[in-house]
């Protein structure tokens, strides 16, 4: 982003999309970037306008994040200058913020009912005039909830050729944008393709990065390597999940400071059995976006494992494999809960798609939400499905969940699979490792 700001300060307007899943650190990244900036850039005061989209129920208010950013600019270090330019170049926008007008202001009847095109034109001229001599950062958050008017405005700003010392930072969640069919998706694709915008994609933390976070928070911990492995596995490297999980460990005194040194006070393999309520709330909000049929499919898949073949879920639900693949493909396309994994060949030579939960914490929460009776029923169905699917020994399962054996109540069902000799031919596909864990 510093590179983009340098270009903007030279008069080349810039638009940068910051994308990533919930909790990946989009807001923190932008905020820390802003915190490092000086008050003046190239001798001029640096202005920052920040606005946030919200999940508006119903029609909602047009230009909500833009108006919020304008209001902050009008009350900021150069507020008088901003209001003066609004009165001259963007009176329609000023009407949307009557608290900035004097009590005796007389409204111009000609402005009422003006076209949306005039709103776009006024804003672009106002912004370019303000940013002609003053470097300006416009930060818009959560554009997956952005209204069409706001997206059209960004499109108009990005396509104008006039010089402006302007950097627009726009953040959103790709999964939510895909599920909601938000207009920001097409805007980003079009602008990046035509080199009128850049995209900064935030990735999950690897184990080394998680270890650095834990080392900074828990200095001197003797079991740091084991804790790092466990937290990384449970969080999949999502920074928000990492923080939430470690907060949970401290709050429940599973990690405590003794003599100035942090110690693990419970067996390392058991300290993250439960999912913190705060993390459950985050996941439940995401599950609310899925249909009842999709939730049922995900619950069934959670019994099979982090990775699962479509054939197994189809057999457990009494559905055609094509129907399960269609539903899973839709979720995987949006990377909503699932991603594609390697294909799986069944005993009858039926080849189906494999899928993987985006985060194992999703699977664990779905699994834990099942009632004991429902869980027992699904374990039994999973055992039968897997016995039928792999009965000819074409693929040998390397690990079978003890839960399947215990709940199914009929260990003989899986005995042919468990007793396959080590020399059996395997397909080389990634089946058994994640299949039933």
Same structural domain, 131 and 238: no
pLDDT profile of the chain (437 residues), mean per 10: 92 95 89 92 90 80 93 93 94 90 74 78 95 95 94 95 94 84 93 95 91 90 86 85 86 84 80 69 81 92 88 91 91 82 78 86 88 90 79 44 47 41 32 31
Q: Which residues contact 86 (CB under 8 A, 6 or more apart)?
A: 70, 74, 93, 94, 100, 126
User: What's the pLDDT at 49?
Assistant: 95
State residue 2's pLDDT score. 92
Query: From CA 262, how far away is CA 223, in angstroms rounded?
Result: 9
Full domain range(s) for residue 223: 207-273
Model-level pTM?
A: 0.70
pLDDT at position 407 is: 44
Domain match, 102 and 195 both = yes
Measured between alpha carbons, how far is residue 162 from residues 87, 125, 131, 158, 345 in Å? 21, 10, 11, 10, 58
If you write DSSP's letter for every residue of 235-266 in order, what string do you get? HTT-HHHHHHHHHHHHHTTSEEEETTEEEE-S
Model pLDDT, residue 275: 65
CATH (domain of 102): 3.40.50
Q: Do 357 and 411 belong together in one domain?
A: yes
CATH number at residue 311: 1.10.10
What's residue 236's pLDDT? 81
User: Do residues 260 and 289 share a domain?
Assistant: no
Percentage of the chain with pLDDT > 90? 40
Tell me the C-alpha distance between 229 and 208, whole Å: 9
- What distance in Å separates the CA atoms of residue 265 and residue 256, rounded to the nearest whole number? 7
- As for how many domains the chain has, the answer is 3
328 burial via Cβ count (<10 Å: 0-12, 13-18, 19+): buried
Percent of the chain with pLDDT over 70: 84
Q: Are residues 117 and 248 in the same domain?
A: no
Domain boundary among 257, 273, 289: 273
Together in a domain, 192 and 236: no
How far apart are alpha carbons 199 and 150 in whole angstroms?
19
Check residue 408 and give its pLDDT.
44
Identify whether residues 254 and 387 lie together within a single domain.
Answer: no
Tell me: the pLDDT tens digits for 403-423? 554 444 444 444 444 433 333
* 152 and 301 part of one domain: no
Q: Are 213 and 242 in contact (CB under 8 A)?
A: yes
Rounded to the nearest integer, the mean pLDDT of the chain is: 83
| Residues 129 and 264 occupy one common structural domain | no
């Amino acid at each position: 982003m510093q590179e983009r700001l340098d270009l903007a300060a030279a008069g080349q307007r810039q638009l940068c999309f910051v994308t990533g899943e919930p909790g990946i650190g989009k807001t923190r990244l932008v905020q820390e970037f802003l915190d490092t900036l000086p008050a003046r850039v190239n001798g001029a005061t640096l202005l920052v306008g920040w606005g946030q989209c919200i999940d508006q129920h119903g029609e909602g208010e047009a230009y909500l994040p833009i108006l919020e950013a304008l209001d902050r600019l009008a009350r900021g270090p150069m507020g008088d200058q901003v209001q003066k330019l609004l009165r001259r170049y963007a009176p329609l926008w000023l009407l949307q913020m009557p608290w900035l007008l004097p009590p005796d202001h007389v409204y111009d009847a000609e402005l009422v009912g003006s076209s949306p095109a005039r709103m776009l034109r006024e804003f672009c001229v106002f912004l370019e005039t303000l940013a002609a001599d003053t470097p300006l950062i416009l930060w818009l958050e959560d554009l997956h909830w952005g209204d069409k008017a706001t997206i059209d405005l960004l499109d108009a700003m990005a396509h104008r050729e006039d010089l402006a010392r302007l950097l627009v930072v726009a953040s959103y969640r790709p999964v939510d944008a895909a599920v909601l069919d938000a207009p920001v998706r097409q805007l980003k694709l079009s602008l990046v393709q035509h080199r009128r915008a850049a995209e900064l994609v935030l990735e999950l933390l690897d184990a080394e990065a998680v270890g650095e976070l834990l080392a900074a928070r828990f200095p001197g911990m003797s079991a740091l390597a084991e804790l790092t492995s466990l937290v990384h596995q449970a969080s999949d490297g999502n920074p928000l999940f990492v923080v939430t999980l470690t907060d949970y460990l401290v709050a429940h005194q599973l990690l405590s400071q003794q003599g100035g040194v942090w110690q693990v006070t419970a067996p390392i393999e058991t300290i993250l059995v439960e999912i913190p309520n705060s993390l459950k709330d985050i996941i439940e909000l995401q599950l609310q976006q899925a249909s009842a049929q999709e939730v049922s499919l995900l619950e069934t898949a959670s019994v099979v494992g982090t990775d699962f073949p479509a054939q197994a879920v189809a057999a457990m639900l009494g559905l055609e494999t094509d129907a399960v693949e269609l539903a899973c493909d839709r979720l995987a396309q949006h990377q909503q809960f699932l991603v594609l994994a390697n294909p799986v060949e069944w005993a009858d030579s039926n080849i189906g798609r494999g899928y993987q939960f985006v985060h194992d914490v999703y699977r664990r929460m779905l699994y834990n939400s099942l009632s004991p009776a429902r869980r027992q029923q699904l374990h039994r169905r999973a055992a039968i499905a897997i016995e039928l699917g792999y009965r000819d020994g074409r693929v040998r399962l390397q690990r079978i969940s003890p839960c399947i054996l215990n709940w199914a109540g009929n260990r003989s069902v899986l005995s042919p699979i468990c007793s396959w000799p080590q020399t059996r031919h395997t397909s080389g596909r990634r089946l058994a490792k994640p299949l039933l864990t």
